[in-house]
Amino acid sequence: MCGIFGCILKDGNAAPVIHAALKRLEYRGYDSVGEAAIHDGKLYIKKDRGMIDEVHSVLNLDDLPGTIGIGHTRWATHGAPLEVNAHPHVDCSRQMAVVHNGIIENFSELKLELENRGHIFESKTDTEVIVHLIEENLKSNPSLSFADAVLEAIKRLDGSYAIAVISLAEPNKIVCARHESPLVIGINENAIYFASDIPAFLPLTNKAVLIDDGELVTLSLEGFEIKKIRDSSVVVRKPKLIDWTPEMAVKQGYPHFMLKEIFEQPSTLRNTLRLQEHYLDLMATFLDRAREVFLVACGTSYHACLAASYMFSKLAFLATYPVIASEFVEQHGKSVNIDSTIMAVSQSGETADTLASVNCARQRAATVLGLTNVIGSTLTRVSRVYVGQQSGPEIGVAATKTFTAQLSVLAQMALRLAKKRGKVSQDEMDFLAEKLEKLPETVNAIIQTQEEKVKQVAKKHKDAKTFFFLGRGISTATAYEGRLKLMEIAYVPAIAFPAGESKHGPISLVEPGFPVVFVCPKDETHKTLIGNIMEMKARGASIIAVIEEGDEEIKQLADDYIEVPRGIPEVLSPITFVVPLQLLAYYMAVERGYSPDTPRNLAKSVTVK
């Protein structure tokens, strides 16, 4: 998830306007920053790794000449956060520059094809193929207009993109296009702007045109022309007046970042399905060879590891040991050795306890694999192989979209390994792959249909002194995560454990009205879980069940139920069942008068920096 912005001004220099807009977009990514502008038949570029202020203090981002320009603030997905990988990217003859937000899935194939045609690539990014493709189109068909050359290029892209290109050939235009990444146009009497988000231009204009998927827009001082990428038909769309305050705009109209991030999950899950296959294969190869595998993490990332241990076991028949990172050195520090493999999972890639475990493992010659959201973080530097989860920055302290993204990546890894080991049939593989593909839609359906119900449950229980969260099998991890969310943002003391444990002690806490949340997928644990629900009900507990649609048996037992679509395979079920629990924690915090984005005593990550 990156931020893009550009403008064409009637007067004055575009660069300071771009710089200020990128500052407003910095929440979308902050690995590197860059700008390109055109002036007097020349293309000027400034870019480097680092936060905008750092880069500006060295390069002065304001002194590029020209009334037209584009800019980018990056959240690395392909290629480390280095100067060479910072956007904008240029073609071989340095006639054009492109900025891009999204992921080009087929970039390796396109890059190879273009290299065979003599194109020289400078970066390791997926983005650079776009500008070389446009260059190639113009080379093979010089009569093409700049906009048509862009149009033909993007027809060849698989994946997601919002792009903007400037060219010396038509120096008064910016050509933009969108597919599954946001793009908006802003206009006033002195300028025209494009951006990945409205906040970028909100102080400059409140007149915006929202661009839809599959559209290409050509901007000039005369205005804008929107075309359908599919058939070049022209689309007429009027600007809208945006009445958001700047604060609302950054949150895209949501009252809190946490809610925005919960709602972003369909899109972040889609991004996890665009991982480069060879990284997953490499991970699977290391896991296959390992004598023992530890899955090490803290907090929410630990819950992803716990769920992953069920995925690896059930799909690939691989035993793994999920370990809370702060205990790893004490528990396994002496036994870990050259035959051990440590998979460290950390959204930030900087959590001190996770890195301490990794250090200990490395000193004892173990193999370290990493899964993180931050390419360029310490974890990526110390891992033998790492995979990026591609969720974009998470601003709410409570991890939501990064959790479901970790689960999706781990499930894909388990599937790879299962395939490598011949442990699943082709039919089962296809079935799971299809269900994975549908997850964004499924999660969207849950958010859209269940939010109101969850709100009512939160209202009902807002004064509860404590909560239980119970699940069996892989849903134990979901229950733990639901409990962590509720505790950390709504400050409700809560307990979670595998439902089978309740009769070994915790049940003594239950008294009439005590809220107990059950995570109830219709998997092999369903029958036994019903027994656990009855036990709690017999003691007067108020049962809140997250069930599959149409699960009449549990509906009849539950005081309140929240439904998720039917037919999600067991190994993927935490991805869907956790969503109502995220919403429950969010609305409990709101009902109790707390700000979900800034829980007391917690910061986004414990870093070693």
Residues 426, 431, 435, 436, Cα dihedral to 10°: 0
Among positions 112-151, residues that touch ligand AGP (CB under 6 A) are: none
540 torsion bin: left (phi>0), alpha (psi -120 to 50), beta (else): left
Q: How far is the CB of 520 from ligand AGP (least distance, A)?
A: 23
3-state helix, strand, coil in the chain (%, to 5): 45, 25, 35
Cβ neighbour number for residue 500 with a 10 Å cutoff: 16
Cβ-based nearer residue to ligand AGP, 443 or 487: 487
**Would you say 564 and 236 are in contact if contact means Cβ atoms under 8 Å apart?**
no
Question: Is 314 a known active-site residue?
Answer: no
Strand 467-471 to 385-388 pairing: unpaired
Out of 35, 261, 488, 597, the residue judged to bind ligand AGP by CB under 6 A: 488
Gyration radius from the chain CA atoms: 25
d(CA 467, CA 482): 10
Burial (0-12, 13-18, 19+ Cβ within 10 Å), 232: exposed
Among positions 351-370, residues that touch ligand AGP (CB under 6 A) are: 351, 354
Question: Is 207 a known active-site residue?
Answer: no
Chain residue at closest Cβ approach to ligand AGP: 299
The answer to whether residue 377 forms part of the interface with ligand AGP (CB under 6 A) is no
Q: How many residues bind ligand AGP (CB under 6 A)?
A: 14
Q: Considering Cα of 373, then 421, then 308, then 454, what sign does the dihedral take?
A: positive
The neighbouring-strand residues paired with 519 are 546
- Per annotation, catalytic residue among 207, 435, 453, 604: 604
The answer to whether residue 272 forms part of the interface with ligand AGP (CB under 6 A) is no
Structure tokens, 50? 């680092």
Query: Tokens 């799971």 identify what position?
Result: 432
d(CA 129, CA 133): 6
d(CA 292, CA 336): 9
Cβ-based nearer residue to ligand AGP, 3 or 596: 596
- Per annotation, catalytic residue among 2, 7, 176, 305: 2
User: Which of these ranges, 16-24, 113-121, 273-281, 294-302, lies near ligand AGP under the rule CB under 6 A?
Assistant: 294-302
Q: How far is the CB of 404 from ligand AGP (least distance, A)?
A: 12
Q: How far is the CB of 351 from ligand AGP (least distance, A)?
A: 3
The answer to whether residue 582 forms part of the interface with ligand AGP (CB under 6 A) is no
Q: How far is the CB of 447 from ligand AGP (least distance, A)?
A: 18
The answer to whether residue 581 forms part of the interface with ligand AGP (CB under 6 A) is no
Among positions 317-356, residues that touch ligand AGP (CB under 6 A) are: 346-348, 351, 354
Cβ-based nearer residue to ligand AGP, 148 or 597: 597
The answer to whether residue 378 forms part of the interface with ligand AGP (CB under 6 A) is no
Identity of residue 91: D
The answer to whether residue 219 forms part of the interface with ligand AGP (CB under 6 A) is no
The answer to whether residue 397 forms part of the interface with ligand AGP (CB under 6 A) is yes
The answer to whether residue 301 forms part of the interface with ligand AGP (CB under 6 A) is yes
Q: Quickly list H helices, 117-213.
A: 128-140, 146-154
Which residues are annotated as catalytic?
2, 604
- Applying CB under 6 A, the residues found at the interface with ligand AGP are 298-301, 346-348, 351, 354, 397-399, 488, 605
